[in-house]
Amino acid sequence: MTPMRKSFKHPVFHIVVFGLLAGIIILILSGLKMPSVVDRRIVIGNTDLAHVLVLLTRTWQYPPTKEDLTGVLQRYILHELVYQEALSQDGDDNNALVERSLIM
């Protein structure tokens, strides 16, 4: 028997080939998830802005300055980015624990 035929009969070869085939089949069946442009866009609407303004005014007892609002909106966008990343990794919808685990 040639060395090539011996290697085909070796159990390690069968395991590696089976693993590669299983991986290829799983990739074909599940498909590659590529985010679309819509998935990556974060929109801050009027209701979101009004909510942030009310929270800031209620917390600090005065209307926020432009710098305060800019900083809070930047943190809000970061929070939304983390949340979208959690969803793209098949995290649960509206799950605060998933968001916190990605931040830390």
Give the C-alpha distances (Å, rounded to integers) separating 33 from 15, 36, 93.
27, 9, 18
Task: Find out whether 48 and 76 touch, Cβ atoms under 8 Å.
Answer: yes
pLDDT of residue 91: 58
pLDDT in tens, 4-42: 777 777 888 888 899 999 988 888 887 766 656 556 678
pLDDT of residue 76: 85
Give the C-alpha distances (Å, rounded to integers) separating 6 from 9, 13, 19, 20.
5, 10, 20, 20
| Rg of the chain over all Cα atoms, to the nearest angstrom | 25
pTM of the predicted protein model = 0.50
pLDDT of residue 20: 92
Which residue type is seen at 52? V
Task: Find out whether 35 and 81 touch, Cβ atoms under 8 Å.
Answer: no
pLDDT of residue 21: 92
pLDDT in tens, 53-102: 888 889 888 888 889 888 988 888 888 887 777 777 665 656 666 666 66
pLDDT of residue 101: 61
Asked whether residue 104 carries a pLDDT value surpassing 60, the answer given is no
